[in-house]
Amino acid sequence: MTSHTILYLDDVSVVFDGFRALNNLSLFVDQGELRAIIGPNGAGKTTMMDVITGKTRPTGGTVKFRDTDLTLLDEAAIATMGIGRKFQKPTVFDALTVFENLELALKAPRGPMACLRWVLAGEARRRIEETLEEIGLTARAQDRAAILSHGQRQWLEIGMLLMQDPELLLVDEPVAGMTDQETEHTAALLRRIAGTRSVVVVEHDLEFVRALDCKVTVMCEGSVLSEGTIDQVQHDPRVIEVYLGR
Amino acid sequence: MTNFTLTRRGAIAGLGAALAMPAIRPSFAQGAPIKVGVLHSLSGTMAISETALRDTVLMMVQDLNSKGGLLGRRVEAVVVDPASNWPLFAEKARELLQVAKVDVTFGCWTSVSRKSVLPVFEELNGLLFYPVQYEGEEQSRNIFYTGAAPNQQAIPALDYLLGADGGNAKRIALLGTDYVYPRTTNRILRNYLLSKGFTADDIMEEYTPFGHSDWQGIVSQVKRFASAGKKTAIVSTINGDANVPFYRELGNQGIKAEDIPCVAFSVGEEELAGIDTRPLVGHLAAWNYFMSVKSQVNDQFLAMWQAYIKNPRRVTNDPMEATYTGFKMWAQAVQKAGSTKVDDVRAAVIGQKVAAPSGYIEEMLPNHHLSKPVMIGEVQANGQFNIVYKTPAVVAAENWSPYIPENANRRR
Amino acid sequence: MKRHLSGFLPFLLLCCLAFAPARAQDAFTTALPGLAGSFGQIAEAVEKLGTSADPRALPLLQALQDGRLLKREDGTLLIQTAAGTTEVLGGSATEAGTAEAVRVNNRVRGALRGALGSLQILSTDPDERLKAAEAVFRSRSADNIRPLETALSRETVPAIRTQLELSLAASRLASPDNAVRLQGVAALAEVTDQNARALLLETKAQVPDLARQIDAAVAKIEGRLRVRQVVETLFQGLSLGSVLLLAALGLAVTFGVMGVINMAHGEMVMLGAYATYMVQEACRGTFLAPVALPLAIPAAFLLAAAVGAVLERGLIRYLYGRPLETLLMTFGVGMILQQAVRLIFGAQNREVTSPAWMQGVMTLPGGLQLTQNRVWIIVFGLLVLGLVVAAIRYTRFGLEMRAVVQNRRIAATMGIRTGRVDALTFAFGSGIAGMAGVALSQIDNVSPNLGTGYIIDSFMVVVFGGVGSLAGTLVGALMLGVVNKAMEPYAGAVLAKVVVLVGIMLFIQRRPRGMFALKGRAAEA
Amino acid sequence: MSATTVTLPATPRVTLRLVLWGAVLALALIPLLNQLPESSALHVGDFIVSVTGKWITYAILALAIDLAWGYTGILSLGHGAFFALGGYAMGMHLMRLIGPRGAYGHPVLPDFMVFLGYQELPWYWLGFNFFPYAFLMALFIPGLLALIVGYLAFRSRITGVYLSILTQALTYALMLAFFRNDMGFGGNNGFTDFKELLGMALNTPLARAMLFYASLVALVGSYWVCQRVSISKLGRVLLAIRDAESRVRFLGYSTTQVKLFVFVLSAVLAGLAGALYVPQVGIINPGEFSPGNSIEAVIWVAVGGRGTLIGAVLGAFSVNALKTWLTTAAPDLWLFALGGLFVAVTLFLPRGLVGLFSRKVQK
């Protein structure tokens, strides 16, 4: 574990009723790194994210964000520490407008009294508007999220992630349901974000992963199968075996 | 006063107030009907007991009208449903008095419902006839109590158990539902027993919640209590709903009346109608009236009731008799006063005498309670009571019990 | 008042007649006038008749017990039989006319029981002998020692012998001779029975000389009684538990399997109880009357199931996926059902009688007495549980039900008519509730409010046990029952219930999924 | 749960505000019209005053429930308990004020304690003779209970129907407990026969009018507080929690804290409603804890339209008005009507009466 390792998973296992969703998984992500994770269905990608964000308690192993043991914290505490997550199935708040969705995500004191006293000041408004611009939803700011298209919901969720201003972003299948153009835009966005913060992207779309141009981890049956550049892993016989069948 | 103006005002009054207006028949100054409020629960837990009282009042109203009404005016019943909900009792009482402007109200069963409406009747100077035996410790100028006070039921019953005919009981188990009537009655009985030389060890007191349905434990406890080598009897102030499971458990655990008799103050013919009484033969109840009383008035009362309700098997019970007696007294008082004004009627009710179905002449005393006979009946296999004891004459009600020491410094 | 006098005057007259030295009086005739007197006099007369050994006494006392002994205004006693009415003295046939039945009260009944007991102890009918032996135990008079010894020497039936020995011991306590009394004390010390304890303590009060021996005997009895009390409490707990189980089982299906919060569940139970009442009334007076209760079980099931099916198809299905709305709507349905029943059947309780085989107590080896109806309800509860398990595990319907619960869409694509399965499942759960109503009609009020008392307990059982787990429902119900009953003697019934409720609430917050939680991903969803 | 907030377009918002203030004014007029001579066409009877006063407190309770349920998705079936606890606190004050005017003339002990043989006041009754203390307790005790229950429940992530069943058991347990005479709260009879409050004899029109206005002020105040919450960012967090609680957690909000805040606030409002209710109806007894009462209160909100404050108020008024009317007009059949209404509203009007209204507005 180097001094700039930001996320540290060592020997993590998760067992559901005898089924090992994660099997002695070890994974390290550096500060400012962009990392793609691929793997077949049931490889444990989403479970890994659940473990990092506190949704699922690991059966065993170490999970650390910098020097903090994440297994002791709940989702909210982990999120406020600076880990943001975008879900596989976009979850935005349908009853609220696009603007309000972003406002909720905006990094600010989270306590009930603070929320009650919250006044949207110039700086915050400017940041929300910037983000709206970035995700291309400026025109729809006052629309309720319920009426957005699938792609737009994806964007909105990415926007919310940005508003949180996290140090580590966990992004689960960000481009599902997006057009090619949108996909490209997303890849560019993620690349830009990386550098100042760390990004972990889980994705099926290998073209998109290629566009990210980063280190790739291949997961299978709850542990790491292979790691390297996209080309390296694509030629790894074990990976080929997993993807093309035995 | 017509519906129209009320509705208009209601609309002005704002949200939903219009809906609050009960449908009152338009009434006209000439020969306006005399209004009788009926304040008995028709739904909820008390409906079991109270619907029969509603029917009794309606029967009496019908009877009165068939005889040409009162003071030459028709009598009209205004029925409301306070739904076994105590604050609703207060609201409905107010509505009866202020909106329907009833001249008299017959109603309430539980003490709490009476306590809930009492301030309303006092504030608006209404007239309430309350037909159920209760714990006493109350007297309102606006309420006439036609049920028994503790000295007209509980104490004579205990005397019977302690006497030779009742089996010379030396140990008493006081079982009751946890509310004020049993608590107070048992306090009176405990003090009475202590005054008769009982020790605290020979008295068992146990309370259960309303509608208690699992009596296994308590009945076993009573059996243990009864195995101390002294004749034991049970005094039950268990409330309506819980009685059926209680008696079933008594029967099933083989407690025979010959060994451990149980005398109840809240179990009448109506309650027994829901139980197979064969295993209970010999258990006792103390009331001021039983359906099996042999008297001319009772025969008339039974015939009238079974004709009204169109069911020759329907039973009568003590609170119904008290309703009957109360209604008769009120009607006589109105006749005497020549008006339905509350103050006049109130003055006239006191001293009224009615030949009650109990077979005695009952009189309204100045303490707003009745003089009544006390009877003790044994349950028979047919669900009726075999009257094994009655007082030779009526007993005057003592609503303030001498066995509650605090009554000594009561405000008068 | 009038009646008292009318009873009293002829009595005085009779007394005069009786004491008139007309002819020699035997015990029977001297006792007779008492039967026309007050309860106390009747009781005395009955006691005399019991020891009279007169052959005329038995039919007379039986007539008194059955209310067939009549009394004329003038005090003449008549016996009424199917054949006609005869005068007691002289035996000549006569008309009943205005004669009224001689009334009995507890005091008289107690005396009668003892007297009949002494007279029937040598009866040829074993049932009567057993009853007589029991009766003599209670009446315990030294006069009975000799007849009991005779009876014991002839008796061959073991159960009656046991009872006779007991009665003999009890009668010996009444002997004036301390040696005989001590025999009785020694025999009673070996019995595990509260009545024996009561007898001994009573004797102790009368004969302080024997206090030491009696105390020792009582201590022995009490030691055994304490053990029995534990067993009894356990039984009572199990019985309460089985009532909870019955009430909750239907809910375990509708809530546990389908996730439907049915606040009208209690009303389904109530409908079952009313179905029992209706079946009983329909069978009254027919040859079916003795089996009305078993017949009521399918009837209650069908009625409640039919109402359930209508409810599901007509209302609930539109609210799937919105459990909170379902909760509110079914609350409204419950109100309507309650009031409908109240208007149809009246607000009063309805009488549902227990068949003879469900009444009284059942004595187990060791003298442990269990109330029959409770035993049956425990058995019934387990049978219904078995039925539910079997229906879910081994029938086509159960298979389809589980399939729909696990994945509605895939089940539909497999050709399962999910709507029909929903309706059937809900009807099944409601029907189970109706069957619970049959059981509850045996221990509780059959009134429109019957169900309201059980709804919260049922929900607590299901949630405590673990939603979707029948094993959890079983264990949860029995545990709650036992804990409740175990606490009752110390905390009182009300507090026991409150403590149990608070306990469940704390438990649920520690294990939100109940005792038998479904684990894994399915539960996380 | 699906989103059901009704967001009204800007213009109707103004009309809505006008309607609201109009309704408040109309309500405020009721006690004044009561003062007119009875012959006047505008006279309003005492009954209307007292019954409307009672409905106002119900409306506050409905607001409290709506805040928890309509906005946050916490369906508590135990709000009647908070209402009743507030009522009991006020009832204790009123009992203490009876002083030596009770039937037994005891200077300190209320009547029921005298005839049940209490020798002295239980410790938890001390201080209730001071109005500010009693009033504070009427808010504090429900709040404290909500804090404890809410903390335990929300921490263990008990949501949805489980929470409903749990809170229902809570109010049921409290009902059983308060029925016990040994608790020192008068058992089944509870408290009645109150004499005065803050120096006013309770059975006078003046006192009724004062309580009416106090309730109206409390209603407006509660409305303001709820509105303040609902339009703040907190309100949006609440809606977000209602629709996707776990997502809110991943945004870094401690939903346990937020829900606890709302639950406690809601309980305090319910307690306030109870405290105003008791002097007006003149009785408080354990029946107020009965689970049916709590469910009914939830149904007011459902009928009016949850997720909108005006809906909660409207629901409380309309259902109770209907009940008052029907229990007199159709004493045998009113349960059918009310039960039918509950069924119909959940089936056909998921957004309640307000939904009916706002759909028209949007067209």
pLDDT tens digits, one per residue of B108-157? 998 889 988 998 999 899 999 999 999 888 889 999 999 999 899 988 89
Instruction: Find out whether C436 and C250 touch, Cβ atoms under 8 Å.
Output: yes
Using DSSP, state whether B171 is helix, strand or coil. Answer: strand
The subunits that touch chain A, with at least 3 C-beta pairs less than 8 Å apart, are: C, D
Does C250 lie in the same domain as C156?
Answer: no
pLDDT band for position C25 (cuts 50, 70, 90):
low
What value does the mean pLDDT take over residues D151-179? 88
Tell me the mean pLDDT in the region D104-126.
84
Same domain for C269 and C165? Answer: no
Residues of C in contact with B45 (CB under 8 A): 449
Say if residue D268's pLDDT is above 90: yes
In a domain, D299, yes or no: no
* Residue A141 pLDDT level (bands cut at 50, 70, 90): confident
Nearest CA in chain A to D7: A95
Instruction: State the DSSP string of C291-357.
Output: GHHHHHHHHHHHHHHHHHHHHHHHTGGGGTT-HHHHHHHHHHHHHHHHHHHHHHH-SS-B--PPPGG
pLDDT the model gives residue D26: 84
**Worst-scoring range by mean pLDDT, A18-22, C395-399, D69-73?**
A18-22
Any domain includes D251? yes
Are C303 and C434 in a shared domain?
A: yes
Residue A144 has pLDDT above 50, yes or no: yes
Q: What is the pLDDT of residues B53-64, one digit of tens each?
A: 999 999 999 999
Residues C282 and C422 in one domain: yes
The answer to whether residue C402 is domain-embedded is yes
pLDDT of A182 over the 50 cut: yes
- For residue D202, give Cα distances in angstroms to A190, B1, D212: 70, 28, 12
Phi, psi of D312 (to 5 degrees): -60, -45
pLDDT of B298 reads: 95
Complex-level ipTM: 0.84
Domain membership flag for residue D233: yes
Tell me how far apart the alpha carbons of residues B83 and D175 are, in angstroms, rounded to a whole number: 18
Residue at D280: amino acid letter: Q
Say yes or no for a CB contact (<8 Å) between D336 and C460: no
Answer whether D289's CB lies under 8 Å from D81's CB: yes
Number of domains in chain C: 2
Residues C356 and C478 in one domain: yes
- Whole-number pLDDT of residue B289: 94
Q: Which of C176, C183, C180 is nearest to C207 (CA)?
A: C176
Out of B257-266, B279-288, C392-401, D31-40, pick the least confident: D31-40
List the single residue in C319, C329, C335 with the smallest CB-CB distance to D338: C335
Mean pLDDT of chain C: 83
Let me know whether C434 and C491 are in one domain. Answer: yes
State the average pLDDT over residues A2-22.
81
Query: For C324, which of D157, D164, D336 is closest by C-beta distance?
Result: D164
Query: Are C331 and D176 in contact (CB < 8 Å)?
Result: no
Nearest to C501 among D172, D335, D340 (CB): D172
- Average pLDDT for runs of 10 along chain B of length 412: 37 36 39 91 85 94 92 92 90 92 93 90 94 89 93 90 88 88 88 91 88 85 86 89 84 85 89 81 92 93 94 91 95 92 93 94 94 93 90 90 78 55
Judging contacts by C-beta atoms under 8 Å, the chain B residues touching residue C195 are 227
Is D109 within the bounds of a domain? yes
User: With the C-alpha atoms ordered D166, D168, D171, D175, is the resulting torsion angle positive or negative?
Assistant: negative
Instruction: Give the pLDDT of residue C383.
Output: 94
Are C407 and C515 members of one domain? Answer: yes
Does residue C306 carry a pLDDT above 90? Answer: yes
Burial of D65 (0-12, 13-18, 19+ CB in 10 A): buried
Strands B171-177 and B232-237: parallel
Whether C and A touch (3+ CB pairs < 8 Å), yes or no: yes
Determine the Cα–Cα distance for residues B382 and B375; give it in Å rounded to an integer: 19
Report the alpha-carbon distance of residue D347 to residue A32 in Å, rounded: 53
Q: Mean of the pLDDT values across residues C273-301?
A: 90
Question: What are the tens digits of pLDDT across the range B362-371?
Answer: 999 999 999 9
Q: How far apart are CA C34 and CA C18, in angstroms?
A: 10
Q: Do B279 and C359 touch (CB under 8 A)?
A: yes
Whether D152 maps to a domain, the answer reads: yes
3-state secondary structure of B29: coil
Q: Tell me the residue range of the domain where C262 lies.
A: 228-524
Domain count, chain D: 1
Average pLDDT of C267-277? 94
| Contact D/C (≥3 CB pairs under 8 Å) | yes
Identify the domain containing residue D122 by its residue range: 52-288
Q: Is the pLDDT of residue C517 over 70?
A: no
CA distance linking residue B325 with residue B364, whole number of Å: 10
Q: Does residue D161 carry a pLDDT above 50?
A: yes
**What mean pLDDT is predicted for residues D131-153?**
93
Topology classification of domain A5-92+165-245? Rossmann fold (3.40.50)
pLDDT above 80 (res C438): yes
CATH number at residue C484: 1.10.3470
Higher-pLDDT residue of C504, B121: B121
Task: With a cut of 50, say whether residue D363 has pLDDT above it.
Answer: no
Chain C residue numbers with beta carbons less than 8 Å from the beta carbon of D68 are: none
Residue D136 inside a domain? The answer is yes
Residue B333: per-residue pLDDT: 94
Taking residues D278-304, report their average pLDDT.
90
Please judge whether B180 and D42 are an interchain contact, meaning their C-beta atoms are less than 8 angstroms apart: no
* DSSP letter string, B234-301: EEEE--HHHHHHHHHHHHHTT--TTTS-EEESS--HHHHTTS--GGGTT-EEEES--TT---HHHHHH
A with B: touching (≥3 Cβ pairs within 8 Å): no
Write out chain D residues lying below 8 Å of C263, CB-based: 295
**Residue given tokens 């006392």 in the structure block:** C61
Tokens of D217: 């002020």
A41 touches chain C (CB under 8 A): no
Helix (H) or strand (E) holding C222: helix C211-251
Confirm if C117 and C135 have CB atoms less than 8 A apart: yes
Residue carrying the six token digits 């299948």? A173
Residues C322 and C392 occupy one common structural domain: yes
Cα four-point dihedral sign B114, B117, B122, B126: negative
Chain B contact for D285 (CB, 8 A cutoff)? yes
Smallest Cα distance from D91 to chain C, Å: 23
Instruction: Confirm whether C313 is domain-assigned.
Output: yes
Percent with pLDDT over 90 in chain C: 20
Q: Which of C40, C443, C489 sits opposite B213 (nearest CB)?
A: C443
pLDDT classification of C19: cutoffs 50, 70, 90: very low
B396 by DSSP, 3-state: which?
A: strand
What ranges do the domains of chain A cover? 5-92+165-245
> What local confidence, expressed as pLDDT, does residue D347 receive?
87
Report chain A residues whose CB lies below 8 A from the CB of C519: 16-17
* pLDDT the model gives residue D13: 65
Domain membership of residue C46 (yes or no) is: no
Residues 22-61 (A) with a CB less than 8 A from some CB of D: 53, 55
- Over its C-alpha atoms, chain B yields an Rg (Å, rounded) of 22
Distance CA C291, CA C297 (A): 11
pLDDT at residue C266 in the model: 93
Check residue C337 and give its pLDDT.
93
- Residues B192, B172: Cα–Cα separation, whole Å: 12
Residue D32 lies in a domain: no
Contact D343 C333 (CB under 8 A): yes
Q: Which of D47, D55, D117 sits opposite B95 (nearest CB)?
A: D47
Residue D68's pLDDT band, with cuts at 50, 70 and 90, is very high
User: Is residue D8 over pLDDT 70?
Assistant: no
Query: Which chains pack against D, by 3+ Cβ pairs within 8 A?
Result: A, B, C
* Domain endpoint, select from C173, C206, C239: C206
B108 Rama class: left (phi>0) / alpha (psi -120 to 50) / beta:
left
Cα–Cα distance, B85 to B78 (Å, whole number):
19
Residue D270 lies in a domain: yes
State the average pLDDT over residues D54-72.
93
pLDDT at D11: 55
Q: What is the mean pLDDT of residues C445-450?
A: 86
